[in-house]
Structure 1
Amino acid sequence: ATVDKFAASLVRIADYFGWEYADGKDNQCIEDIVDEHNIEETYIDHESEQWREFYKLNKYDCQLYEIAQSCWRAQIQTAIPYKLQLQRAEPEKEDDDEEEGDE
């Protein structure tokens, strides 16, 4: 997860594994924790000298961030909940009646 999507990532992970909130809790619980402990973002004009210097020093980190953003968008379309994966992996149960009738 990236800092800007940390709370949403926690929600996505919980949904994936089928985790449920404690009684009386909801997404706000996650938001509160993230807001309390997460660093604040700083926005810099991408046309400024400050940005060019930052990018020069952090080129690969910036590229990695863009890849992470792309993965985030792709997961929305492709992530299959863990419980559903387990259900699909179970062998199909054969009906004993059909087997007896075929003999």
Structure 2
Amino acid sequence: MATYWLTFRIADQGNYSERYDALHHAVFEAAEGGKWWTESTSFYVFESPLKAQEVAEKIESVINPQTDLALLGMPGFKVAKAIGAVEDEDLFTLIPFAKRA
């Protein structure tokens, strides 16, 4: 099992609640019964047997990548996947190992 962190922003338009709930459920599914922490607003930490790219694909499939964004990382490794509408390229300077999913 790997440990991941996820920070995200669901755009306040259209079916916001549906996308938020779908993202929450996608993380629950990715955790596959492992530990997960979701007490903070728009920030989750969870365990998953999936690879980072597989988790990123699950997340991307339930958000609107044109308006929503998410950043998935692993606390013990230099791994970060930028998902969706990341417009500010400073992210990739500040976290040089971050890559678009």
Return the TM-score normalized by structure 2: 0.25
TM-score (norm 1): 0.24
Structure with the higher helix share, 1 or 2? 1
Higher relative contact order (CA 8 A, sep 6+): 1
Question: Which has the larger share of strand?
Answer: 2
Question: Which has more radius of gyration?
Answer: 1
